[in-house]
Structure 1
Amino acid sequence: MNPMFFTMVAVVLAGGATALQAPTNAKMMGAAGSPVNAAFVSFAVGTAALGILAMILQTKPDMAAARALPWYAWIGGLYGAIFVVAAAWGVPRLGVALTITLMVAGQLLIGLILDHFGAFGTPAHPISLGRLAGMALVVGGVLMVRRF
């Protein structure tokens, strides 16, 4: 199988998982009492799952390399926490489709900016008319999901 195709399918499936995550965490929010508590439960379950997977795969971190990382490499989980809290809070108010569509729009906007500048050591991909048109289509999708 083509590695690029496999990667794209895996990422699409992961995106689908985030769409499933939003309503399940919104349901948890009702029982847990707040979106923060729902996110806490979500991350606890995710941490346990990752711990089990790490044991199965026998992965070991390179602590010397970890200590050499820049400060911003350590806060990825913070972004995830913001995402989960926002999704759990947004779904009951906006619905799953609009919440996810807005999140995708935000991801694409920040992604375009990060790509343009090659931020965090990633390869630079300048903003082009085609990329701006893609962003406009996503914004149009947000409007369509909101209106119809």
Structure 2
Amino acid sequence: MREGLLFPMIALLIGACIPVQASLNAALSKSWGNVYYPTLVLFTVALLCIGFVVVAKGIRPPNFAAVSSAPSYGYMAGLILVSNILLITYLAPGMGMGNAIFYIVTGQIVAAVIIDHFGMFGVSKIHLSWHRVSGVMLMVLGLSLARH
């Protein structure tokens, strides 16, 4: 497979895994009666998995200079991730996985083009064009039709 197709295929696979992961966490939440312990289990399993990879590959931790020079906003990613997991675990059983993902993906698309347009958080700038705005509108329209 050409590298040009490999990355989009990997992205599609990751995208397909998100509602599966959310459904699995929601199932635990329903059984256990809260969203907090299933989320704690999810992050514990994730920590163990990435810890295994780091040890198996012999990856050294970053030095103090690298850690101290990292942008402070980068550490907000953990807060955003745990909020995302908690909220989708809470929302999906009540509104359906498809509808929950519809709103999440719509928010992701809008935020992504804004981040690209302004080059926020160190990403490459990709300015809004009528092509890009039309594409986003078509994606949101498609998502809207798919949620019913």
Cα pair 2:102 2:144 within 8 Å, conserved: no
* Count of residue pairs the alignment pairs up: 147
2:96 matched residue in structure 1: 95
1:113-128 alignment runs, 5 A limit: 113-128=114-129
What is the deviation of 1:111? 0.3
1:59 matched residue in structure 2: 59
3-state SS of paired residue (1:60): coil
Separation (CA, whole Å) in 1 of partners of 2:140 and 2:44: 33
Tell me the TM-score normalised to structure 2 length. Answer: 0.89
What is the deviation of 1:21? 0.8
1:37 matched residue in structure 2: 37
1:83 matched residue in structure 2: 84
Question: CA offsets per residue over residues 15-55 of structure 1, 9 Å max, x none?
Answer: 11212111001011123332233222211111111111111
1:69 has 2:100 as partner: no
Cα pair 1:98 1:142 within 8 Å, conserved: no
1:110 matched residue in structure 2: 111
The sequence identity of aligned pairs, in percent, is 27
Separation (CA, whole Å) in 2 of partners of 1:42 and 1:133: 37
Separation (CA, whole Å) in 2 of partners of 1:78 and 1:126: 28
What is the deviation of 1:66? 1.8
Instruction: Extract unaligned runs of 5+ from structure 1.
Output: none
What is the deviation of 1:94? 1.5
Of 31-40 and 63-72, the range deviating more from structure 2: 31-40
1:21 has 2:16 as partner: no
Separation (CA, whole Å) in 1 of partners of 2:59 and 2:9: 24
- The letter of the residue matching 2:3 is P
Q: CA RMSD in A?
A: 1.6
